[in-house]
Amino acid sequence: MSGTHGDELAIHGIECFGHHGVFDFERREGQQFVIDLALGLDTRAAAASDDLRDTVDYGSLVASVQAAVETDPVDLIETLAQRIADVCLLDDRVDWARVTVHKPDAPIDATFADVALTITRRREGRP
């Protein structure tokens, strides 16, 4: 997927601890979630000015994503992924956001490496 201008900012492996899940023990004990983000935006203004104010401050974004994961438990990673996408789209410069929520300790009675959901959300009115 590419943005209007083909620029993509990616942040991989954001580690968070949350209390999301359908089961009582997940809500009570919590578990690790790992978040990957990709944002479509036009970075030409920031490249020309060399000024952080002209682009997405990914340090602040990561802090906001961590806060979104670490508060207000929900049952489904689908709900959590949408919440994170909404946080990413708060910045008007972001055309689209691709969010992957990894739940490596999901309660599955089998040997597995990871459970992950990826969603892509576009800002309304943008191609």
Which residue numbers are catalytic? 103
111 CB-contact burial (10 Å; exposed 0-12 / middle 13-18 / buried 19+) = exposed
pTM over 0.75: yes
DSSP string, 80-104: HHHHHHHHHTTSTTEEEEEEEEE-T
Q: Please state the domain extents for the chain.
A: 8-111
Cα torsion 44, 49, 55, 58 to 10°: value is 120
Is residue 2 over pLDDT 90?
no
Q: What is 8-111's CATH number?
A: 3.30.1130.10
Tell me the CA distances in angstroms from 100 to 60, 72, 105, 125, one per residue in order: 19, 19, 15, 23
pLDDT in tens, 43-86: 999 999 999 999 999 999 999 999 999 999 999 999 999 999 99
